Amino acid sequence: MKKNTGHWLKRARTKLQITQKDLVGDRFKRQYISMIETGDVDLSPGVRVYITKKLKLPKKYFDTGLFKKEKERLDYLKEETNTLLDSLRFDEANKLIKEAVSISEEAKSDEYINHFLLKLVQVYINDKKLDKAKDLLIKTNKYYSEEKDYKNLAYSYYWTGVVYRDKKKYTNALYMFNNAIEENSKLERKKD
């Protein structure tokens, strides 16, 4: 179970203005929903399907915690920020990244939060706010390490190396670049 499932359930229920009693009907007790929302009990697959249908949520809602429009907006912002950063338009990208982080944090969608924090790191590096960038990278390195997301972990390590390089701590930078290469080697290579 994702650690924010209870929050996502309560968020969906309150946004749709449905009480716990209305949600459960005759199927199970209101206390069960309360226990899920507080994180005392895991959301079983059967209950997950039932709640998804009852609240008319997207099928992947309990994977990301995002409603359909939020996910569409974040996916658009993901593409747009990549384009802006590639074209070195950091101020415009910064505005979109902050909007995306705000949406992601409201939903407690760790995947999107960390993705956009990595983008914000690039803006901070460009603005020479290296300490802020390093603080964000500590969070993203920890998250991607726990999730065993080697591709994004390698990417995060790369930007950590860039921060150290810009701070003129070349030994640390080299160490982080080597870590990035090591994590990248854990990815399965496509055969040509």
- Residues 186 and 116: their CA atoms lie apart, in Å, by 23
Residue 17 lies in domain: 5-64
Q: For the chain, what is the largest distance between any 2 Cα atoms, rounded to a whole number of angstroms?
A: 65
pLDDT at 89 over 80: yes
Q: Tell me phi and psi for residue 127, to 5 degrees.
A: -85, 5
CATH of the domain at 56: 1.10.260.40
Q: Give domain status of residue 115, yes or no.
A: yes
Q: Do 26 and 76 lie in a common domain? A: no
CB 103 within 8 A of CB 74: yes
Please tell me the least confidently modeled range out of 4-13, 16-25, 91-100, 142-151.
16-25
User: Exposed/middle/buried for 187, CB within 10 Å: 0-12, 13-18, 19+?
Assistant: exposed
In tens, the pLDDT along 12-33 reads 988 989 888 888 877 778 888 8
- Residues 88 and 156: their CA atoms lie apart, in Å, by 19
Q: Give domain status of residue 192, yes or no.
A: no
Distances (CA, A) of 82 to 6, 90, 94, 101: 32, 10, 11, 15
Task: Say what the pTM is.
Answer: 0.83
- Residues 46 and 28: their CA atoms lie apart, in Å, by 12
What is the model's pLDDT at position 189? 60
Domain end among 41, 64, 87: 64
